[in-house]
Amino acid sequence: MSSRPHDRRSQPARPILLILLAMVAVACGGTPPSAPALVDPREILTAAATQAAGATSVHIDLAADGALAIDVTRTGSTSTPIKLTDTTAAIDADLARGATRATFSAPGLLGVRGEAIVVDGVSYLKTSLTGPLYRAQSVSGAVDLRTSAAPSLSVVPGSSGSISAGILKGAIALLREPGVEPTKNPDASCSGTTCYSVTLKVGADQLARLFGGATLPASLPIPTPDLSATTAELTFLVDRQTTHLSGLQVFADLGDTGEITADLTFSKWDAGVTIVAPPADQLQPGP
């Protein structure tokens, strides 16, 4: 007995229908699968450090709180702890060139506000305490965070364009040290997306190595506190999709000097930034 006509017509329709269904499936859900989620906190921090090392620029917003006992009068005795409430900073970093520009305000620290620029191995600083002109200084005259307020001859990382390599080297080296155990927390919301959250507890030496041996300009108009006894708890927020560092929450115990909490937000990775030295007519005359 021959097949019925409608059965013969249905045979070629089946592969066509399957193809159409496959096309619909691709159109509705054809985006490539995302990378497997990272579960090892060391891998998460290493991925963020690697991204930072390859980046060309970034913007950082900082908000700080806490209190510091600083010898503001430079008489050898500390006064009532200075409140850091409402202390803020906005920083643009040209990572490829090793240049930075920052504006800052610290109402509780004698109301100081100002701007700092580091470019081509020279730092330029002006504050509400020093007047409208920038003071220029070679970044080789710096304060080493690993010791105290004593001047150091070490060049600030990045002054020769090596800040990215310094971040990567410092972070990877620290994560390989015995006893350094980062902890993975539940994922957290950050900047409109979802981030890995990793906490790391460090001491002063480890903190300096994590940031590549970072230093502060010796030309700051206030004395720099002794940071040699510092311990800190750092919580890194790393974008799950890009593994870019999105945020950093800091609690630092400075012993007798006080304590600091800070929230840093990282954005505009690789967006590009132009940082130039102030013109000559905005500089204080040399000695």
Least confident of 13-27, 30-44, 60-74, 105-119: 13-27
pLDDT at 74: 58
Just give the CATH number of 41-268.
Answer: 2.50.20.20
Say if residues 123 and 116 touch (Cβ distance below 8 Å): yes
Phi then psi for residue 213, to 5 deg, are 75, 40
28: exposed, middle or buried (C-beta count within 10 Å: 0-12, 13-18, 19+)? Answer: exposed
Please state the domain extents for the chain.
41-268
Q: Which of 5-9, 75-79, 90-94 has the highest mean pLDDT?
A: 90-94
Looking at residues 234-256, what average pLDDT do you find? 92
146 contact partners, CB below 8 Å, separation of at least 6: 204, 205, 208, 213, 227, 228
172 or 233, which is more confident: 233
pLDDT at 179: 78
What percentage of the chain carries pLDDT values higher than 70? 66
Using the predicted structure, report yes or no on whether residue 15 has a pLDDT greater than 60: no
104 or 143, which is more confident: 104
pLDDT at 226: 63
Using the predicted structure, report yes or no on whether residue 71 has a pLDDT greater than 50: yes
For 121-167, the pLDDT digits (tens) are 899 999 999 899 999 988 754 444 334 333 332 333 333 334 545 55
65 contact partners, CB below 8 Å, separation of at least 6: 84, 85, 86, 87, 260, 261, 262
Using the predicted structure, report yes or no on whether residue 116 has a pLDDT greater than 80: yes
110 or 260, which is more confident: 260
pLDDT at 77: 60
For 179-189, the pLDDT digits (tens) are 788 999 999 99
Cα separation, 118 vs 41, in Å, equals: 33
The widest CA-to-CA distance across the chain, in whole angstroms, is 113
Cα separation, 269 vs 159, in Å, equals: 20
Indicate the pTM of the whole model.
0.74
Continuous segment of H or E residues that includes residue 188: strand 183-190
Work out the pLDDT band at 269, boundaries 50, 70, 90.
very high
